[in-house]
């Protein structure tokens, strides 16, 4: 699960339950456009897992 910056990042962090190491976010709310390349990297690291970018 990958979240970009902004309110969707805050909502995802508060409401989406994930296993450890399964939620990718910038954490600092400073990098717009983070979710797409992060989702691509997550998919390349494990092609059998579903990746969602918000």
Q: Evaluate if residue 45 carries a pLDDT over 80.
A: yes
Question: Does 51 map to a domain?
Answer: no
The residue with greater pLDDT, 52 or 30, is 52
Cα distance between residue 42 and residue 54, in whole Å: 14
Cα distance between residue 25 and residue 10, in whole Å: 10
What is the pTM assigned to this prediction?
0.60
Q: Is the dihedral of CA 11, 13, 17, 21 positive or negative?
A: positive
Question: Does 53 map to a domain?
Answer: no
Cα distance between residue 54 and residue 7, in whole Å: 11
Q: Evaluate if residue 29 carries a pLDDT over 70.
A: no
Confidence of residue 43 (pLDDT cuts 50, 70, 90): very high
Number of domains in the chain: 1
pLDDT for residue 7: 73
Q: Is the dihedral of CA 21, 25, 13, 28 positive or negative?
A: positive
Cα distance between residue 47 and residue 4, in whole Å: 21
Q: Evaluate if residue 9 carries a pLDDT over 90.
A: no
Question: Does 14 map to a domain?
Answer: yes
Domain encompassing residue 41: 7-45
Question: Does 25 map to a domain?
Answer: yes
């Amino acid at each position: 699960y990958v979240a970009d910056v902004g309110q969707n990042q805050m909502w995802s962090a508060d409401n989406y339950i994930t296993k450890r190491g399964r939620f990718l976010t910038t954490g600092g709310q400073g990098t717009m456009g983070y979710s797409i390349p992060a989702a691509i990297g997550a998919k390349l690291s494990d092609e059998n897992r579903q990746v969602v970018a918000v």
